[in-house]
Structure 1
């Protein structure tokens, strides 16, 4: 199997079917990728709805797991344990991808390279209106300047696991830290960054559509003290990871993660 596509979901709404349809409608051969869906922290009626979608798309290779234990990190860890692909890509359940997404990511990937796509942000219900997005700006800069290494602009792609194709050899059994409810994406990407030496970019035909919607986890308000405590814990974990192998991790990447955590406090 060339690619494993991981989609965690919790109490999904209509946007999940857009996400799954976009994965089903890839130009990449269906024999070369599989889909891992993890429904976490809930069951009915979502379980039956997902099974109905799967029944209508039997030609797609799918592993479907329902777990009563909540948390996106736990869901992704479950999927990673079952992934069979040489490469893995993560897609959030309220986002979607263009038909050439998997093909171009795979065409640009190598065993020592993370392949990155074109990011497109939009408000829910207004996909035709592209929003300003710092990662889109990073893509434009990197493609114009032919960035191939983990430069400061390229690192903007690594605050989360989506929008990219990651060699499974980079992960090597390492997991998302389920103790964190916020910032765990960035922490995981830093954890595996000791393996990231090269990046490659697709054309603008390989699009990851990032949906902004009211009530999503990334848009939820949090109490000030909870934010401060979480960011201080993040700083500690970044430092423990970096200090465990200081010669393997990129110091500038570590420094920007610390600065990002500090900015998150203020």
Structure 2
């Protein structure tokens, strides 16, 4: 296996997602772009069954590399955020402009996040966004940047650049008709889209190592096995997968091509992690070995 480019060594990529997402893969933009072009998928649809921040999806769509994207997340709070931004970008932008960045408002938004009606997409979606932008590492169950007493080096507003965030929301709104939103099991998304023409599926599921509560949802060992079964069943379709580099992954995908990638994460401190990218048999990946 060779090493693919990611993290700090990656070519410049657009940062377009309004969310800060722990473990996000927007850093793989150049690799995904190469896959799209090499497999003649520039007129196709890019699908993320476990979207989270959807950084790579938005980058590929807004730069015109794909024609449509599918954003799916089973977490109702993350889905609410995407629904609000895609369907009501102007209203969402006004909430950003009017947002108070202090501990009183942080506590209020946290209460909304915990207790809001799951169908209140705007209220729940903005609370999710607010916590994501004001919590350490973007973790919704994490503590506020700067601490409750706001005595840290960085304060609650450190990752809440209102003009930049409004611009990102505006760009999502401009492309809203090319974005499909789903709030279902990722396995159902894969099964639904795998056999369609001109589709690339990128699966970035919760990992085996759940240290630090980075992921909003978690997988059981059975969930990992079910995902492998579905993807291996569609080995002749266009998909790729990233995982933590653990023996279970190599066992589950022993018949598929695998490459090691290095990514930088900043959960409390910058950590370089080695992960595994798995490819379907149908996917052409010759150019990826040059991306060091």
TM exceeds 0.5? no
Which TM class, normalised by the smaller chain length? under 0.3
Greater C-alpha Rg: 2
Q: TM-score, normalised by structure 1?
A: 0.25
Higher RCO by CA contacts (8 Å cutoff, separation 6 or greater): 2
Q: TM-score, normalised by structure 2?
A: 0.24
